[in-house]
Each structure stands twice: as structure tokens, then as C-alpha cells.
Amino acid sequence: MVFRSTAAGQPQPPARSYYADTAAPWPARPALDGDPAADVCVIGAGMSGLCAALFLAARGYAVRVLEQHATGFGASGRSGGQLIAGFAAGMDAVRAQLPSTEAQVYWDLGTEAVTLVKDLIHQHTIACDFTPGYIEVALKARHVAELEESAADWARLGYRGLELWDQATTRQRVASDRYVGAVYDPGGGHLHPLNYTLGLATAAERAGAVIHESTPMLDFEETADGVTVRTPQGRVRARWLILCGNAYLWRTVPAIGARIMPVGTYIIGTAPLGEARARALIPGNEAVSDTNFVLNYFRLSADHRLLFGGRVSYSRVEPASVAQAMRRTMLWTFPDLRDVPVEYAWGGYVAITVNRLPHFGRLGRRTLFAQGFSGHGVGLTSLAGQVMAEVVAGQEERFDLLARIRHLPFPGGRLLRTPLLVAATMVHRIRDWL
């Protein structure tokens, strides 16, 4: 079975962002040049690929990681950095496909993902400004009812520690008049995603993995003996292939790309506010997101900036001015910041699925993939890397459970699926406004 890349593209440097400007130093890693053999070839040096490489190398496997651009180039290096338990979809979407006992295990994996990230940070001493606490805020009374229902479901599933806040408490903890209630999860949190990703890369290399940057995958072929991956200057012969390109593989590997949609999301970073003013906005320094379908999310950085994200582009057409567009939304939430300039604005793609659950599966017997984390990638990508490494080591049960969730392709094919998604999303936007 041969899979040919349809859009490998040219390597690009990391885009300028607050994260790139405050990242820990990291070495330039050479492109692949030659024909090495490996036990496992991993495509993508983001969180999922690097976690897979780390867990495999730690078990003694020879691992080669191929990254088309630079380590952490994709969402792993520029996301909102919010660590959130569970999944972007409610558990009813899981219960519709799995019996209750398996749905419980599926849920447990979603919460284990959060613990895994914390454990990796601690075990490998990754300096990524991890800060505990996550708040989901409600803008309307119906949102409060939705949060109460969700919190009750989480409690039935065994999740502990959630707090429901009334309007007064919410406005004490998030200094905005826009919010009328919230749910607080002390188990969530936020981090510097690029530094976390770079820390995973360092840990994987210490364990013995080899990372090649500026190395796009041109095609791969799986045979009974293994998988061969071809690149511009060489090829890797491996027993296993793990695909971790997410939003950047949807065209490269059309066999799985039909079931994800890359959507643009954008973040701005203000000038430093000073500790007192920053903490006046979010006294507990938690990560915050709202309950809208097209949501906004924000948090404070380690140097007391407000990092404010949202304005998802389902059409993949970038706003004329990301900074101006996002600043208007930020001021709608925090009007007292009118005197504060925006110093950073960046964006890029994340991958969503139709049902907003992550997509795990196989292409052939020895080619694994995980994609479509739908906004919960900081935790679920790390878990994905771990469970794919387990498959290579002969422990397939957890991966197979995650892969049992069926995923529909986005309707409309290559030409019409984006316009159809934009139209469907407009319905949700109107509901957000009502």
C-alpha cells in the first residue's frame, strides 16, 4: 500500500509569536540525509509525535522523528496553552457509540491525559510556566444550566473537585461584567506550549530518539515487513509508522484528511500589565474560556501579559488584521484595557472532527495515527503519543478503544466541505448571540 503526499510544501521557520520570543533556546536539528533504519518512524515533532518518541525511546526502540518545519511549528507551539480535562464533545457523543463500561474507560483516558502532562513536566523538569486552575465562564443563563448539567455528569463519571460559581463569585475571579456564572476545575491549568513541546523534544533525544527538521514526508509504503518513508534527501525504513501531523496532514494523507478540518484560530498578547493589574483581571491566575460554540479563551503569561485567543476562522481566511480584530473582542470582555497596546498577534491551524472527539486509527497494520483534538490538544496529544507507543510495545487495548469511535467525513468533498462548514457554523454563531 503506497500513500503519496499531495501537498508536502516547503519547510517554514516558526512564526513570530509571544511563545517563540520567550522560548527556551533549542538547537537546529539537521534534515534527514541518507537511508537509516529504525524501529519506528514518527511524522511530526509536536506534542503527540514527541510523546510517542519519548515513550518508545525510553523502552529501547530506535526512533526517527521527521518534521517538515521546525519542532513545535504547528498548534503544539502556538496554542492557547490551556490544559483541560475531558473532551470538546460531551459524553453523550461517546455513549452513543460505546457501552457504559467502555464509555467510562474512554472518559478516564481523557482525565488521565491531564495527569500525564503534569507528570511529564515534573519527571523531565520542563520549564513551561505550568499554572493550575481552569475556569469555564457562562455568558447567559442558559449557559449556566449547561455548565450545571455538565458538572453533574462529570461527577457521575467520578471526577472530583469541580466548583459551580454564581455571578458574584465569577466576577470576583474574572473581572468582567460579561459573565453570569462559571465552573472551576482545580485540576486543569495552563502552560507555555512551545516550551513544553521543546522540553518533550529534549527528553526524547536524551532517551535516544533522533529528530530531523526541514524534512517533509513525500510518500510512504507499507509492506508485510514494515514501512518505508521517502523524503527529499533520503528515506527511513521502519517497522512502524506513527502519523502525528494533525492539521498539517489533511492534504498530505487524504485517506485520513477527509475526517478532519483545519480551522484557523488567533491569539494576541498585550504589553506587560504589571503583576498587580494582571492579577486584578484574574486573581487566581487560572486559564479561562467561555461556553460559546465559537469561543474565546484567555490567560495571563508569566510576565503578566494577557494572552487572549479566539476568532476561529472556519473558512481559513485570515482576518485583515488579527491584532485589531482580536483587540476588539478583548475590549468587549475587558474594556478597562483600552490604554494597553497589543504587542503580539499570531495564529494558525488546529484540527477538528465532525463530532469533536479525537480521531485514532490505523492505515494498514503498522501505520498508526491520531488527529482532530478539537481544542483539547494540550492533554490529548500527549495521551495519544503514549497510547500509540503502547501499540508498538504490544499493548493495543487502550488505543483500540479510542479508535472504536467512528468518524464521519466532512460533507461536501474537497471543494464544498469548507463552504458547508462555514454555513453550518454561522447557525451556531447566531445561537451564541441570542
Asked whether residue 100 is assigned to any structural domain, the reply reads: no
Choice between 11 and 329, residue whose per-residue pLDDT is larger: 329
In this prediction, what percent of the chain has a pLDDT beyond 70? 88
Question: What is the number of domains present in the chain?
Answer: 2
183 lies in the same domain as 209: no
For 43-100, write each residue's pLDDT tens digit: 999 999 999 999 999 999 999 999 999 999 999 999 999 999 999 999 999 999 999 9
Q: Which of 352, 381, 416 is the C-terminal boundary of a domain?
A: 352
Say which CATH number the domain at 394 has: 3.50.50.60
Asked whether residue 174 is assigned to any structural domain, the reply reads: yes
251 lies in the same domain as 291: no
Split at pLDDT 50, 70, 90, the class of 411 is low
Residue 311 has what pLDDT?
64
168 lies in the same domain as 224: no
Asked whether residue 345 is assigned to any structural domain, the reply reads: yes
pTM, 2 dp: 0.92
Mean pLDDT value of segment 23-40:
96
200 lies in the same domain as 314: no
Asked whether residue 374 is assigned to any structural domain, the reply reads: yes
Residue 416 has what pLDDT?
43
172 lies in the same domain as 288: yes
Average pLDDT of the chain to the nearest whole number: 91
For 153-188, write each residue's pLDDT tens digit: 999 999 999 999 999 999 999 999 999 999 999 999
Asked whether residue 404 is assigned to any structural domain, the reply reads: yes
Burial 271-302 (b: 16+ CB within 10 A, else e): eebeeeebeebbeebbbbbbbbebbbbbbbbe
Residue 261 has what pLDDT?
87
Host H or E run for residue 162? none
DSSP code per residue over 371-386: E--TT-HHHHHHHHHH
Asked whether residue 122 is assigned to any structural domain, the reply reads: no
171 lies in the same domain as 26: no
244 lies in the same domain as 348: no
174 lies in the same domain as 202: no
Cβ atoms 183, 133 nearer than 8 A = no
Q: Which of 308, 334, 352 is the C-terminal boundary of a domain?
A: 352
Residue-range definition of the domain harbouring residue 136: 131-187+262-352
Using CA atoms in the order 380, 381, 383, 386, what is the torsion angle rounded to 10 degrees? 170
162 lies in the same domain as 198: no
410 lies in the same domain as 369: yes
Asked whether residue 399 is assigned to any structural domain, the reply reads: yes
Split at pLDDT 50, 70, 90, the class of 410 is confident
Say which CATH number the domain at 142 has: 3.30.9.10
250 lies in the same domain as 266: no
For 341-356, write each residue's pLDDT tens digit: 999 999 888 899 999 9
For 218-275, write each residue's pLDDT tens digit: 999 999 889 999 999 999 999 999 999 998 887 788 888 889 988 888 999 999 999 9
Helix (H, G, I), strand (E, B) or coil at 217: coil
391 lies in the same domain as 268: no
Asked whether residue 98 is assigned to any structural domain, the reply reads: no
CA distance 360 to 367: 11
Query: Residue 259: which of 350, 352, 348 has the closest Cα?
Result: 352
Q: Which of 327, 352, 377 is the C-terminal boundary of a domain?
A: 352
